[in-house]
């Protein structure tokens, strides 16, 4: 199902817009994120929301993501193990899988380098899953309007803000 058809693009441009610039899309406003979640769910995407304020330690975040996806895991988790688990996501009977990291600024503040690696792994797996015909996307909600600059390039791309918060002024800058 990976390729978008012309009809899908015409009928649901906002979803195509999320996927077209890489595997990680940034959101600041909750209303923008809620709108995207509603569109994705109504189009058959399975959504997994992780609260990074609760799970701001690296291993807790990794476990929360893998547990949300219902992938069997080991008691301890490393970044290598996380990468292996994310590569095993099941896409049965869904249009795609969406991982949403709410309050990412908490994780980034606690361990910026590890937060980078989490997004880098998710972005790499986005591409790998697309090659296999599966849609995986990560939406990142942050209160930091400059998070894109702090993260840098992940998975070969700089994460982009959603189209409603694309301009600096849309994020209060």
- What confidence score (pLDDT) does residue 1 get? 58
What domains can you pick out in the chain, each with its CATH number? Answer: 21-166 (3.40.50.300)
Cβ atoms of residues 171 and 28 within 8 Å: yes
Q: How many angstroms separate the CA atoms of 139 and 158, rounded?
A: 14
pLDDT tens for each residue of 13-46 = 889 899 988 899 999 999 999 999 999 999 999 9
Cβ atoms < 10 Å from Cβ of 14: 14
CA dihedral of 41, 44, 45, 51, whole degrees rounded to 10:
30
What is the chain's percent helix, strand, coil content, to nearest 5? 50, 15, 35
Cβ atoms < 10 Å from Cβ of 162: 22
Mean pLDDT, residues 64-87 taken together: 87
pLDDT tens for each residue of 113-144 = 999 999 999 999 999 999 898 999 999 999 99
| % of the chain with per-residue pLDDT over 90 | 67
């Amino acid at each position: 199902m990976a390729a978008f058809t012309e009809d899908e693009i015409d009928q649901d441009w906002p979803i195509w817009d999320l996927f077209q610039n890489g595997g990680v899309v940034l959101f600041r406003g909750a209303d923008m994120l809620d709108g995207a979640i509603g569109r994705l769910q109504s189009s058959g995407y399975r959504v997994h929301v992780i609260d990074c304020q609760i799970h701001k330690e690296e291993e807790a975040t990794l476990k929360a993501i893998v547990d949300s996806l219902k992938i069997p895991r080991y008691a301890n988790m490393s970044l290598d193990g996380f990468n292996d688990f994310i590569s095993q996501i099941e896409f049965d009977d869904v249009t795609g899988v969406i991982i949403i990291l709410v309050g990412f600024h908490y994780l980034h503040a606690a361990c910026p380098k590890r937060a980078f690696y989490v997004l880098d792994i998710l972005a790499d797996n986005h591409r790998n899953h697309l090659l296999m015909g599966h849609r995986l996307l990560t939406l990142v909600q942050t209160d930091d309007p400059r998070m894109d600059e702090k993260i840098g390039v992940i998975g070969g791309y700089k994460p982009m803000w959603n189209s409603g918060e694309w301009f600096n002024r849309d994020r209060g800058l």
